[in-house]
């Protein structure tokens, strides 16, 4: 079965103030050593599975040189079957990029770039602990386009303390004017254990205003489609044909494999996550073991519920026909009560392919998702 492959690169120059992803400071020689471990894990997990999409995420994968990227992709081709026309995404931080590195990434086979811009408002970048300036981000976008990356995405954050609706609108207008074919917009989550979380808890930074964040989301939801950048998922917008295939597979509850610390794999009714610690990962790989940290068996009810919840993230909604084909019974047979209650409340609507979230429920989708979880029905 075709699978998406996620490869975690757990290194960053420095920790951003809001980040709770698993990453460690990059040290001299660390990447070369890490690539050996990654390839050893690829050998352990590889059984010739067909890989349709590869996503190098992090961390900061653009700390790798183009030669190192080639080493990773050669390893993927050695242990898996990399499909022709596979989407190969690299996550990149603007300050790590040069015109030369971008051309070399493109030549190495990277055909989609996802850039962590986060905000173009200069005063907000230090608050987030980002290392780049807004100008550097815009320059890196121009370099990426010149290097041939037509499949180019930017991540943006809204709901940042001190961010105004006007500055958010400017960010979106600027990126649309630059011809960005894909944008991911995320509401800032504040985690207690991060520097930003501590600053908010101590009162040094004001907690973002929920209503202001909702207005920012609503603006993106209305403005981007007017500009031809259609919403295809709760947080993702793309020009037609530029949707992220790797993430679409997640939302269709497809199988995937993950390599590297904290990476997760899913398939054959099981979800496994690797240990989220580089040293433990290294020790397990060196002793010839899979670096699995946790494993969860999912029964058919769990998988059906996840298929609905993930499908509802998409603007097209959960696909009735695909669901019936996968499970051998209809969506209504599995979740008839939940669906009719949600339809009655106006929290769900019929879509061309099945059922979808109405626009007004997209920012508060969890309220709908909860209805499909087992605990809510027992
Ligand atoms: S670059 Fe990304 S992964 Fe690294 S610290 Fe910043 S937000 Fe976290």
Has residue 271 been placed in a domain? Answer: no
Residue 63 has a CB neighbour count (10 Å cut-off) of: 18
Arithmetic mean of pLDDT over the chain: 96
Q: What is the C-alpha separation between 234 and 218, in angstroms, rounded?
A: 11
Q: Which pLDDT score is estimated for 80? A: 97
The atom number, within ligand 1, closest to the CA of 58 reads: 3
Q: What is the pLDDT of residue 167?
A: 97
The Cα 9–Cα 19 span in angstroms is: 15
Mutate which of 10, 14, 19, 127 for ligand 1 pocket (most atoms within 8 A of beta carbon): 19
Atom of ligand 1 nearest to the CA of 20: 8
Q: How far is the CA of 196 from the centre of ligand 1 (A)?
A: 13
CB of 12 shorter than 6 A to ligand 1: yes
Instruction: Decide: 118 in ligand 1 pocket, CB within 6 A.
Output: no
> Among 146-155, 252-261, 368-377, whose mean pLDDT is lowest?
368-377
Contact between 237 and 183 under an 8 Å Cβ cutoff? The reply is yes
110 and 197 within one domain: yes
Tens of pLDDT, residues 77-108: 999 999 999 999 999 999 999 999 999 999 99
Last residue of a domain, one of 226, 250, 274: 250
Same domain, 232 and 98: yes
pLDDT at 378: 40
Centre of ligand 1 to C-alpha 58, Å, is 7
240 with 335, same domain?
no
Q: Is residue 118, in this structure, part of any structural domain at all?
A: yes
Distance, CA 85 to ligand 1 centroid (Å)? 29
**How large is the average pLDDT for residues 184-204?**
96
Task: Identify the pLDDT of residue 105.
Answer: 98
Q: Give nearest CA residue, ligand 1 atom 4.
A: 59
b/e per residue 6-28 (b: at least 16 CB within 10 A): bbbbbbbeeebbbbeebbbebee
Residue nearest to atom 3 of ligand 1 (CA): 59
Closest approach atom of ligand 1 to CA 19: 8
pTM given for the model: 0.96
Residue 59 in this model has a pLDDT that exceeds 80: yes
Q: Give the domain-ending residue among 250, 281, 305.
A: 250
Query: Is residue 178 a part of any domain in this protein?
Result: yes
Give residue 207's pLDDT. Answer: 87
The percent helix, strand, coil of the chain (3-state, each to 5) is 45, 25, 30
Cβ of residue 60 lying under 6 Å from some atom of ligand 1: yes
Is the C-beta atom of 13 inside 6 A of ligand 1?
Answer: no
Say what the pLDDT of residue 374 is. Answer: 73
The residue whose CB lies within 8 Å of the most ligand 1 atoms, and thus the one to mutate among 14, 20, 60, 155, is 60
Residue 162: pLDDT band (50, 70, 90) is very high
**CB of 59 sitting under 6 A from ligand 1:** yes
- Cα 165 to middle of ligand 1, angstroms: 25
pLDDT digit string, tens, across residues 280-304: 999 999 999 999 999 999 999 999 9
Question: In angstroms, what is the span from residue 295 Cα to ligand 1's centroid?
Answer: 26
Which range has the worst mean pLDDT, 127-141, 224-238, 356-370? 356-370
Residue span of the structural domain in which 321 resides:
317-377
How large a percentage of the chain has pLDDT more than 90?
95
Q: Give me ligand 1 centre to Cα 304, in Å.
A: 33
Residue 167: HSE in the Cβ half-sphere, 13 Å Cα cutoff: 20
28 — pLDDT class (breaks 50, 70, 90)? confident
Structural domain total, the chain: 2
At 375, is the pLDDT very low, low, confident or very high (cuts 50, 70, 90)?
low
Nearest C-alpha to atom 5 of ligand 1 is from which residue?
15
Q: Is the pLDDT of residue 343 over 60?
A: yes
Indicate if ligand 1 lies below 6 Å from the C-beta of 114. Answer: no
Q: Do 212 and 346 have their domain in common?
A: no
**List of residues 6+ apart from 375 with CB closer than 8 A:** none
In a domain, 307, yes or no: no
Are 373 and 236 found together in one domain?
no
Tokens of 277: 């610690």
Q: Is the CB of 262 under 6 A from ligand 1?
A: no
The rounded Å distance from CA 59 to ligand 1 centre is 5
Distance in angstroms (rounded) separating the CA atoms of residues 214 and 190: 16
Conformation bin of residue 68: beta by default, left when phi > 0, alpha when psi is -120 to 50 = alpha
Domain holding 191: CATH number? 3.20.20.70
Q: Between the CA of residue 133 and those of 30, 86, 145, 166, 201, what are the distances in Å?
A: 27, 32, 19, 19, 27
Comparing 27-31, 49-53, 177-181, the range with the smallest average pLDDT is 27-31
278 falls within a domain: no
Q: Does the pLDDT value for residue 232 go beyond 90?
A: yes
pLDDT tens-digit readout, 142-153: 999 999 999 999
Confirm whether 50 is domain-assigned.
yes
23 touches ligand 1 (CB under 6 Å): yes
Structural domain includes residue 86: yes
Tokens of 205: 């930074």
> By percentage, how much of the chain surpasses pLDDT 70?
98
- Asked if residue 93 belongs to a domain, the reply is yes
User: What is the tens place of the pLDDT at every residue in 104-127?
Assistant: 999 999 999 999 999 999 999 999
CA of 210 to the centre of ligand 1 (A): 24
Considering 250, 274, 298, which residue would you say is the last residue of a domain?
250
pLDDT of 134 over the 60 cut: yes
pLDDT of residue 208: 86
pLDDT at residue 377 greater than cutoff 60: no
Query: Is the CB–ligand 1 distance for residue 101 below 6 Å?
Result: no
Query: CATH number for the domain including 337?
Result: 1.10.10
């Amino acid at each position: 079965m075709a699978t998406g492959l996620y490869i975690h690169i757990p290194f960053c120059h420095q920790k951003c103030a809001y980040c709770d992803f698993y990453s460690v400071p990059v040290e001299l020689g660390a990447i070369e050593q890490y690539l050996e471990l990654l390839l050893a894990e690829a050998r352990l997990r590889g059984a010739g599975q067909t890989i349709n999409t590869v996503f190098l995420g992090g961390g900061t994968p653009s700390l790798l040189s183009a030669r190192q990227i080639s080493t990773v992709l050669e390893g993927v081709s050695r242990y898996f079957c990399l499909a022709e026309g596979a989407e190969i995404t690299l996550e990149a931080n603007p300050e790590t990029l040069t015109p030369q590195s971008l051309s070399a990434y493109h030549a190495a086979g990277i055909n989609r770039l996802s850039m962590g811009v986060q905000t173009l408002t200069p005063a907000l970048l230090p608050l987030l602990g980002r290392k780049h300036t807004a100008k550097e981000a815009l320059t890196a976008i121009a370099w990426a386009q010149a290097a041939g990356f037509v499949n180019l995405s930017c991540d943006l954050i809204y709901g940042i303390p001190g961010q105004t609706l006007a500055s958010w609108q400017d960010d979106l207008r600027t990126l649309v004017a630059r011809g960005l074919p894909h944008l991911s917009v995320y509401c800032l989550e504040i985690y207690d254990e991060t520097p930003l979380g501590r600053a908010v808890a101590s009162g040094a930074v004001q907690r973002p205003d929920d209503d202001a964040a909702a207005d920012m989301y609503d603006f993106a939801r209305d403005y981007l489609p007017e500009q031809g950048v259609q919403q295809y998922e709760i947080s993702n917008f793309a020009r037609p044909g530029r949707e992220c295939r790797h993430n679409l597979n997640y939302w269709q509850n497809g199988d995937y494999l993950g390599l590297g610390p904290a990476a997760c794999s899913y398939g054959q009714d099981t979800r496994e996550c690797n240990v989220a610690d580089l040293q433990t990962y290294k020790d397990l790989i060196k002793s010839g073991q899979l670096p699995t940290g946790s494993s969860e068996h999912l029964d058919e009810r769990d998988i059906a519920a996840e298929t609905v919840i993930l499908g509802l993230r998409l603007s097209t909604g959960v696909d009735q026909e695909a669901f019936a084909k996968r499970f051998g019974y209809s969506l209504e047979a599995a979740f008839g009560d939940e669906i009719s209650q949600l339809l009655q409340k106006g929290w769900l609507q019929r879509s061309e392919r099945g059922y979808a979230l109405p626009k007004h429920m997209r920012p508060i989708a969890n309220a709908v998702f909860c209805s499909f979880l087992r605990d809510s029905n027992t």
